[in-house]
Amino acid sequence: MIEVLRSGPLTTIQDLGRPGYAHLGVGRSGAVDRPSLRLANRLVGNLEDAAGLELTFGGLALRATESITVALTGAPCEAMAGGRGRDLFAPLALAAGDILEIGMPSRGVRTYLAVRGGIDCEPVLGSRSTDLLSHLGPDRLRDGDELSIGRPNGDAPGVDVAPVRRLPDEPVLRVVPGPRADWFAPDALTVLGHTRYEVTSSSDRVGVRLDGPPLERARTDELPSEGMVEGAVQVPPDGHPVIFLADHPVTGGYPVIAVVHPEDVAAAAQLRPGQPVRFECVRLG
């Protein structure tokens, strides 16, 4: 069992989400930075789809009530256990009674904690993910919560540390033209590709909201709501783009000018308020 001493600004249980239910109005949800959760699971010998914790701006403190193995990935932050700093991106053994305290990330937003055996809770539609938009899955963590751990499945950890790339100061996200690129002024994609946007503080698991020169529409009529994909760059009437993340609505009524490359969605998920970001328009392969 894991005892949550301090839940931090926002900590949720996440796995790889619940794809396949969009026709019921249920989005995929799951870890917004899926590669980081996968890596954390691999480091503790779990299958990649085991449920772990997604920390938003760190701040989590927990006590192990039994000996457990955990790993931290994603946004790097200070981790203290037994009075000394511990490495991220590595399996970390905690003895019964050990307290693990996680600080605020120095870059990025979301840190992932996997525990050998996975977090065990009742799945909803095949997933243990918390969908904050649809209010599905387990509640966000609260101080004093006790989390059950599943039975280990798969091989024991076999590495000391995983090499990872440092999160960039000014990420460049590759995008391809979206289904409604023709709803925008002819130069709108060029503007998108040549603008340094700033991430706003209203960004969340639904989407990253950006500030910058507004993207002009060529058509001002109302778009009937249509299906949305992860990574969609949707442009509301104010012209400021929003990049959809894991908890995005299944359908939306604003045109999508571009879609972020699937391999760059994780980088979008780690964008901090105030951070600059740019787009690079590429062709759909």
Binding span for other proteins by CB under 8 A among 4-12, 38-46, 132-140, 187-195:
132-140
Count how many residues are written for the chain: 285
Residue 282 CB, nearest approach to other proteins (Å): 10
State yes or no: residue 280 binds other proteins (CB under 8 A).
no
With respect to other proteins, which residue has the nearer C-beta, 18 or 110?
18
Distance CA 122, CA 129 (A): 10
Distance CA 249, CA 229 (A): 9
Residue 276 CB, nearest approach to other proteins (Å): 23
Residues 186-215 that bind other proteins (CB under 8 A): none
Within 13 Å of residue 266, how many CA atoms lie on the same side as its CB? 19
The single residue among 125, 132, 162, 164 that binds other proteins, judged by CB under 8 A, is 125
- List phi, psi (to 5°) of 262: -55, -35
Contact 167, 270 (CB under 8 A): yes
Place of tokens 């751990």: 149
State yes or no: residue 228 binds other proteins (CB under 8 A).
yes
State yes or no: residue 61 binds other proteins (CB under 8 A).
no
The SS3 call for residue 260 is strand
Residues 159-178 that bind other proteins (CB under 8 A): 176-178
Give the count of beta carbons closer than 10 Å to the beta carbon of residue 65: 16
The single residue among 2, 4, 26, 192 that binds other proteins, judged by CB under 8 A, is 26
- List phi, psi (to 5°) of 273: -55, 135
State yes or no: residue 249 binds other proteins (CB under 8 A).
yes
User: Hey, CA dihedral for 39, 133, 277, 109, is it positive or negative?
Assistant: negative
State yes or no: residue 44 binds other proteins (CB under 8 A).
no
The single residue among 146, 216, 251, 280 that binds other proteins, judged by CB under 8 A, is 251
The SS3 call for residue 149 is strand
**How many chain residues interact with other proteins (CB under 8 A)?**
37
**Eight-class DSSP state of 184:** B
The single residue among 232, 246, 266, 277 that binds other proteins, judged by CB under 8 A, is 232
**Those residues with Cβ within 8 angstroms of residue 20's Cβ, 6 or more apart along the chain or in another chain:** none
State yes or no: residue 243 binds other proteins (CB under 8 A).
no
State yes or no: residue 136 binds other proteins (CB under 8 A).
yes
With respect to other proteins, which residue has the nearer C-beta, 23 or 151?
23
State yes or no: residue 262 binds other proteins (CB under 8 A).
yes
Residue 249 CB, nearest approach to other proteins (Å): 7
Report residue 285 CA to chain centroid gap.
25
Query: Interface residues with other proteins (CB under 8 A)?
Result: 19-26, 28, 124-125, 134-136, 176-180, 224-229, 231-232, 249-251, 256, 259-262, 284-285
